Structures are given as C-alpha cells and as structure tokens.
Amino acid sequence: MRDEPTIIREPATFELITPDSAPVPVRVELSYSSRDPYAVQASFRTGQGSPVDWVFARDLLADGLLGPAGTGDVRVQPVAHEPTRIEVELASPSGHAVFTTCATTLAAFLDRTFELVPPATEYSWLDFDAALDQLLAPNAGEGARD
C-alpha cells in the first residue's frame, strides 16, 4: 500500500451511437486512482445536471482494445471496420447505450495507469486497514436488519 494516492485524469470524447441520427459527441472524463487500483471511472457529462459515472475494471478496458471483452452490463471491443475506434456498450435497468471512442486516446490513458500501478501489483496498493475501518464504522450497518 502506498501512503498518498495518485489520480490520473484524461478528457475524452465518446460518441453516442443512435439508430436514426448522426453520432452525438459526449464529453467524458476518464479517471484512475491508485487507491482503487483495479478500476477506471468514466464520468459522462450529458449537459445539465450531474455527470453519469460508470466504473469499469481496468483490465476489461485493456482487453477490449484487442478484442471483444465483458459480459452483462459493460462490453468493450474494437469497432469492426474501424480499428482506430473502440465500442463501449453500457446497459442498466434505466437504459442501454452504445458509444465509440478513439482507441489511441483510451490506450494512452491506460498506459499511464499501468505505468503508475503495473499489472499484477494492484494488490499491494490496496489499503485494507482503511477498508476495514469503513466497514466497521458506526453507520456502516445502517439500514441492515437482523
């Protein structure tokens, strides 16, 4: 575990793919924290209101640069006839969306995260004491019933 977390942020543009109109550009901020070394967060700025945040496994995004990856709510893969583009498909109870983004931008961001926390070293960056403190905090069990 390291004492001070390092955060990497990268702006990106994802294009929302719709069946009946041209792709719609969406501003996205990709972020990675050494405090949560297995995850990447994407904050979708959709206009008014708060951003919509999705958290992905870092390895899922990396695998999706090379071929189809993911099952369920998140799927990532290269666009079939555009090797410079990556498709990100998101599904939730409130909807479904398909985006494309620049493979080079995503790869550069992931490279920076792997330089900070190399693959297979994520475990050493976890702060188990802080996680345990959070679980044992007085309000942690609020809402739970015996």
Residue 84: which of 102, 105, 65, 70 has the closest Cα?
102
pTM of the model: 0.79
User: What's the confidence (pLDDT) of residue 127?
Assistant: 60
In Å, how far from its chain's centre is CA 48? Answer: 22
- Look up residue 105 and give its amino acid: T
Alpha-carbon span 113 to 8, nearest angstrom: 7
User: What's the confidence (pLDDT) of residue 144?
Assistant: 46
As given in the structure block, the two tokens for residue 55 are 């958290």
* Cβ atoms of 100 and 17 closer than 8 Å: yes
User: What's the confidence (pLDDT) of residue 145?
Assistant: 43
Is 95 in a helix, a strand, or coil? Answer: strand
146 residues of the chain, pLDDT tens digit each = 456 788 999 999 999 998 889 999 999 999 998 888 888 999 998 777 888 899 999 999 999 999 999 988 999 999 999 989 999 999 988 889 999 999 999 999 999 999 988 875 555 545 656 556 656 777 655 554 44
**Residue 59: other Cβ atoms inside 10 A:** 15
